[in-house]
């Protein structure tokens, strides 16, 4: 009398593994693209918030801008836009993927978010975002980052 075996064959298991591999090969790049877009959004939100603080500072301080993030400047930590920022010092957004710097004079400013190269998701398309006192927004090297 012949025994009847139940279960899966090796071929059936390999087919399932192959299907899972194909699904993962499609899903992982899409997920990484989504993560990069969310990191870009965080940088853009920080830039827009800092630009608004600059305009508020401009109106409250005799029509002059500042290059200081901390006390005596934008006080951005009070608005939740920056943490541990001191005067005239760059800082990173909370997730650590972009570093923010500010330059300018009493009559104009430029705020730049630069991608940190040590981040897990290297964003080659949008390395820097910039906003200035004329509200001109640029990004390099990409043109469709904003």
Write the pLDDT tens digit of every residue in 29-50.
Answer: 888 888 888 888 888 998 998 9
pLDDT top residue among 13 and 116: 13
- Cα 68 from Cα 101, distance rounded (Å): 10
Q: Domain spans of the chain?
A: 10-141
Burial of 43 (0-12, 13-18, 19+ CB in 10 A): buried
DSSP class of residue 48?
Answer: H
Q: Taking residues 127-146, what's their average pLDDT?
A: 86
Query: Residue 38: what pLDDT?
Result: 85
Query: Residue 110: what pLDDT?
Result: 95
In sign, the C-alpha dihedral spanning 124, 135, 50, 107 is: positive
Neighbours of 1 (CB within 10 A): 3
Query: Residue 84: what pLDDT?
Result: 60
Query: Residue 69: what pLDDT?
Result: 82
The answer to whether the pTM exceeds 0.95 is no
| Mean pLDDT over each residue of the chain, to the nearest integer | 84
Query: Residue 122: what pLDDT?
Result: 65
- Cα 84 from Cα 93, distance rounded (Å): 11
């Amino acid at each position: 009398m012949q025994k009847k075996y139940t279960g899966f064959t090796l071929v059936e298991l390999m087919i399932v593994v192959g299907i899972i591999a194909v699904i993962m090969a499609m899903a992982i790049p899409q997920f990484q693209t989504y993560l990069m877009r969310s990191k870009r959004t965080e940088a853009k939100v920080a830039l827009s918030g800092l630009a608004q603080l600059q305009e508020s500072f401009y109106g409250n301080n005799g029509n002059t801008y500042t290059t200081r993030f901390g006390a005596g400047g934008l006080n951005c930590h009070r608005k939740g836009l920056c943490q541990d920022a001191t005067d005239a010092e760059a800082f990173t957004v909370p997730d650590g993927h972009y570093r923010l710097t500010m330059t300018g004079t009493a009559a104009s400013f430029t705020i730049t978010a630069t991608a940190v190269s040590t981040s897990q998701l290297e964003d080659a398309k949008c390395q820097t975002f910039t906003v200035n006192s004329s509200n001109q927004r640029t990004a390099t090297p990409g043109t469709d980052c904003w």
